[in-house]
Amino acid sequence: MTAAILLAIHIAAGSVALLAAVLALLTMKGGRYHVLAGRTYAVGMTLIFLTAVPLAILGSSVFLLLIAVFSFYLVFAGWRFARNRRGLPQLVDWLAMAIMGLTGLAMWAYAVVLAASGDGQWVTLLSFGAIAVALSAVDGQYYRRLAKGQGRAGVRRIQRHLTNMLAGTIATVTAVAVVNVDVNPVWLPWLLPTVIITPLIVWWNIRVRRRERAR
């Protein structure tokens, strides 16, 4: 019964988060509706995380537990970059980045275990582990530069916000794909949204940078 209730909340929160993500992408950045959609998305993803962790524990799934932590960091970090306009890091930011980095390393370690057992999901964890380590390193470098007084938040803060929030959107789309698409190899629906949407993140970062230079 507990698992059924958690799953129902998990699915409902995922549906709300996906809709909010679409609205955030379609509305004017920084505008009232964009902010509202972003907050709704953050709340939905938080509920997803809070239900995913006990579901993973009840199902004894290390794989899903790692994915839950990985996905939540993306949204949490994206939200922090939006809120922290000065860019000066706080303890919660350093803790979050450390947990993300450790999660990436744990993904690599568990990928070895899965590969040894013949489970194809080792490819998923190997890839997501690389993303986790890379994002925690890039986010950490951003905060370290500002903490040392090297530069200002400015456009880099917007880029970090966009990158993490869009990466969180990938996680939401991935969840939908995994539930509704049954194909081989098993890691394909897990990685395909990342392959498709990542170029959009790169393009968006370039666009933001060009706009800043034009100003």
Q: Who wins on pLDDT, 207 or 212?
A: 207
User: What phi, psi does 135 have (nearest 5°)?
Assistant: -65, -40
Question: Model confidence at 22, in pLDDT bands (50, 70, 90)?
Answer: confident
Question: Model confidence at 175, in pLDDT bands (50, 70, 90)?
Answer: confident
d(CA 66, CA 127): 13
Q: Within 10 Å of residue 114's Cβ, how many Cβ atoms?
A: 18
Task: Return the minimum-mean-pLDDT range out of 18-22, 46-50, 81-85, 105-109.
Answer: 81-85
Question: Model confidence at 116, in pLDDT bands (50, 70, 90)?
Answer: very high
**Does pLDDT of 29 surpass 90?**
no
Q: Which of 82, 41, 40 is nearest to 171 (CA)?
A: 41
Residue tagged 């699915």 (tokens): 11
The CA-atom distances, in angstroms, between 97 and each of 56, 106, 141, 178 are: 22, 14, 11, 27
Question: Model confidence at 150, in pLDDT bands (50, 70, 90)?
Answer: low
Average confidence (pLDDT) over 29-40: 86
Q: Who wins on pLDDT, 130 or 162?
A: 130
d(CA 34, CA 163): 16
**What's the pLDDT score for residue 151?**
65
User: What letter represents residue 42's amino acid?
Assistant: A
Q: Which of 131, 156, 129 is nearest to 141 (CA)?
A: 156
Average confidence (pLDDT) over 24-49: 88
Tell me the DSSP string of 61-109: -HHHHHHHHHHHHHHHHHHHHHH-TT----HHHHHHHHHHHHHHHHHHH
Give pLDDT tens digits for 52-72: 999 999 988 999 999 999 999
